[in-house]
Structure 1
């Protein structure tokens, strides 16, 4: 722990230095506020500052900066409560009255060190917690395998866009996308190839979206889902066909499929929300997807209301 002594009187400065040097502190002594300021501007570790009576203005200046790890002790000959309060009001954390007794000085420094160490530890833990929360949000938002949004992020966005559509009265479309015969693909080519297939298909989805508010997410397994705010059924069909053709154009061999290459089936639900029930729209899109599968796969179906 560093201690900075600020005192223009050589004897007082020497006495403080001699006493503190025996207590395992890193010491720095200066004669005026300008020297102290230059030191503090460069110092980034916690510091206990011992100021003489003339250091109140320096104390105020220190507190105007975003220097969190500075503990200020005013060393004063003043004993009246109002005079001592002036220093505390200026931002000092503690005070000592002269003549300074070594035992009291050591106790005050120890108290300051404990507080600074607690503050430093708390700030470090807070920084680590913020970083961990950001990482957690990223893990929730992004699917680890494909790199596109995950299901949790999709559900959060669906809630937001549903409320907006309820308020504005505009359409909202959801498209389920499922890789055809994916189980057979894994059985034929192995799970590593299956993972690569998922990644390749996932790359097609964002490229097929037209608006900044649209999103693509992995829903689970070989299923993906698209959220298209303010998009009617015709617009959703255009996006769905773009995805279907884009996946075919990947030309990923699939010997166990009647199409001999990887394809997808898609189900669309378009709705103008009238009540707070976004889950029903997802269910309907999934029903349309199953209709596409029953219709031979590699096709698009819209939910029939």
Structure 2
């Protein structure tokens, strides 16, 4: 008998008559296929789940559960896959064929099985299996590409941090979670001090390098799984700290200031002084009236207060304190009173 040039298949052969199984199994193995045998429907379903064959030859008429029952059970175990099921039957009526197809079968072989027809149908199933594998591979590649594009769509290309789009999504998620769990949520709006002077003096390329380094530092300070550093726009960043109280936020801000001083990025327009940041802190246990806009607005007002107090500090309205002095008298500072060009 000529060797089969198609890829070998793992075939589950189900027939309650041992003589039929022996003949078919020998024919299949002679063509290089691996054969798993059983004589009942329940065992067939178990083998199908455990071994995941490439094709099933399934007798229709068996005691207790028949082949149609087994086919339905097999289909239930592979909602996203597809394994060819060929029924073996002596019933040749149109109704019998329709019932088999509805049960999940793909084709019929009439007993006694012709070896020529058997191998012709298996070759067709091999081609279908090959096409399915290619389709699965292409689908996986497409999913990976989509996941990569999704990641890029929420990533700031300059700093590598989450961008404004990604921030909005996370803010909504964390706001809902904090409201549901009645836990505090802290948002920090961080701005690089005198960054316009930095760009005007050193140029925008050096300014970009400065932002990259600061972005890296902010990302490294967010060590808990749900903490987030994001680029808000320009030289402004947002740090999101779920489950962090006012006191915890102030401690975090002081630690961030210390790390910035250790980084010691020279500011080209300020002599021996280094680059500093100012920040506004907004912390609350959200209720039904709390919105993303209200959190950002309060953090923005606190940032302007920090700028008005001399920069290089973080200010929090809830504690009426800044990280440099521990207290402040500018809790009601109106950002419209000052010029952003002068402060920033």
Q: TM-score, normalised by structure 2?
A: 0.62
Q: In structure 2, what is the Cα distance between the partners aligned to 1:290 and 1:30?
A: 74
Distance 2:275 2:82 in 1: 60
**Match among 296, 305, 321 for residue 291 of structure 1:** 305
What secondary structure, in the 3-state scheme, does the structure 2 residue paired with 1:273 have?
A: coil
Structure 2 unmatched runs, 5+: 1-5, 14-20, 39-43, 318-330, 333-344
Q: Which residue of 2 aligns with 1:217?
A: 230
Aligned residues: 286
Distance 1:269 1:181 in 2: 23
Change (3 A) 1:30 1:112: closer
* Greater RCO, 1 or 2 (C-alpha within 8 Å, sep 6+): 1
Once residues 53 and 235 of structure 1 are traced to their aligned partners in structure 2, the CA distance between those partners, rounded to angstroms, is 69
Pairing 1:157–2:156 present = no
Give 1:129's match in structure 2, choosing from 120, 124, 142: 142
Separation in structure 1 between the aligned mates of residue 220 and residue 8 of structure 2, nearest angstrom: 60
SS of equivalent residue, structure 1 residue 297: coil
Work out the CA distance in 2 between the residues paired with 1:201 and 1:71. Answer: 57
Summarize deviations over 1:90-119 as a string: whole Å, max 9, x none. 864210336789998899668756754664
Measured in 2, the distance between the counterparts of 1:130 and 1:53 equals 39
- What is aligned with 2:189? 176
The SS at the match of 2:217 is helix
CA distance, structure 2, for counterparts of residue 207 and residue 200 of structure 1 = 11
Name the SS for the 2:281 alignment partner: strand
1:293 and 1:117, CA in 2 relative to 1: closer, same or farther beyond 3 A? same
Moved more, 81-90 or 192-201: 81-90
The reply to whether residue 302 of structure 1 matches residue 316 of structure 2 is yes
Query: For residue 295 of structure 2, what is the aligned residue in structure 1?
Result: 281
1:252-271 maps to which residues of 2 (within 5 A)? Answer: 252-257=265-270, 260-271=273-284
Change (3 A) 1:139 1:73: same
- Secondary structure (helix, strand or coil) at the match of 2:237 reads strand
Residue matched to 1:72: 85
Cα RMSD after superposing both structures: 4.7
CA distance in 2, matches of 1:301, 1:177: 11
d(CA) in 2 for partners of 1:188 and 1:48?
Answer: 72
